[in-house]
Amino acid sequence: MRNVAVVGVGQTKFGEHWDKSIRDMIIEAGLAAVRDAKIERGDVQSLFIGCMSSGRYAGQEHLGALAADSLGMRVPATRFEGACASGSLAFRNAYVDVASGRHDCAIVIGAEKMTDVKGPEAITSLAAAGDQEWEAAIGLTFAGLYALMARKHMNDFGTTREQLAMVSVNNHKNGVANKNAQFRMPISVDDVLKSSIVADPLRLLDCSPITDGAAALVIMSENLAKKAANPVWILGSGQGSDTIALHDRASFTEMAATRTAAKEALSEAKININDLNMIEVHDCFSINEIIALEDLGFCEKGKGGRFVEDGNIDINGKIPVNTTGGLKAGGHPVGATGVRQAIDIVRQLRGDSCNQLKNPLYGMNLNVGGSGATAVVNIFGREMKQ
């Protein structure tokens, strides 16, 4: 397998784009990534796009062909779907494509247009990422599923309602400087606790929003990437799966798919979890960030709430988390989220993040599909693997 690097990134602003179609956003993000890579569209040899539900949301299927056509790229184009992990699945498969030697230059796009349908229809579409027969059909939404996880975590480990709120507070604090974030305002623990109940114990400000947006990046093989201005190297990638229904899991408070994906990615990258300088995790609901910190190995199971409360995830903490706002403040156009996470790690490593860390060497993103049925972990570094 060859070394592969990210050489260009592009993103739309995340939010409610009433005046843009999914095609418009794909073009905007894709061309921005091509310009950032300082290449021509004709240099791209393959296209990979992640999108959960363009048919339900925008009435548009066959998204690979649409993206290639819209960008003027007559290349093999494939869409990937893995619920909210769709973007990272597209990225992982593009990485394998280039690392294997099949192609030397690929573009990865993540996109979702969620606001062309009414709120209840959007929620119904998201629920399709769970078990339709045993969860969605009885009205169990993803807020409900994650509320069950939160309540079990609180019962078993003493995690507090305030600790959950601190996750959202930290993400909003980081999102203020991010010009592409959907919500650029700070919030307080009290704001979270006083926001309306969505599924007890989760409040409105524990939940990521309905969002439109697209993100894209260009990757190249080592021989081409060495000529790029500021390549960021892909060091490892892992994927894990678990039961699609929450009630079939061994535990409500952990995600086996996350542990599997992280183990594979870290092994390939030849680093350990404590070598990382920052991470992007899937905070679709505040409890998921706490569970992610535990499953990735930054703290013991059950101690994620205390880990957050002690300031470890702050920009200047032990392991900065979601340095540009995460899903909570940045927005969550589900198919685009994994690609956006990768972009934010890349920007940190090349030194042009809106909340730049001091001299980071390694970063990781964790993208989760559904309530944990799919997990993808990617690891990036400033230097290539030897």
pLDDT digits (tens, 9 = 90+) for 305-351: 999 999 999 999 999 999 999 999 999 999 999 999 999 999 999 99
Give residue limits of the domains in the chain.
4-118+210-225, 138-209+236-381
- Averaged over 258-276, what is the pLDDT? 98
pLDDT confidence tier of residue 303, bands split at 50, 70 and 90: very high
**pLDDT tops 80 at residue 139:** yes
Name the architecture of domain 4-118+210-225.
3-Layer(aba) Sandwich (3.40)
* CATH number of the 138-209+236-381 domain: 3.40.47.10
In degrees and rounded to multiples of 5, residue 208 shows phi and psi of: -70, 155
In degrees and rounded to multiples of 5, residue 11 shows phi and psi of: -155, 145
Q: What is the pLDDT of residue 312?
A: 98
**Alpha carbon distance 175, 97 (integer Å):** 33
**Alpha carbon distance 35, 19 (integer Å):** 24
Q: What is the pLDDT of residue 386?
A: 77
> Which two structure tokens, joined as six digits, stand for 150?
């939160």
What are the residue numbers of the active site? 84, 332
Helix (H) / strand (E) element for 220: namely strand 212-221
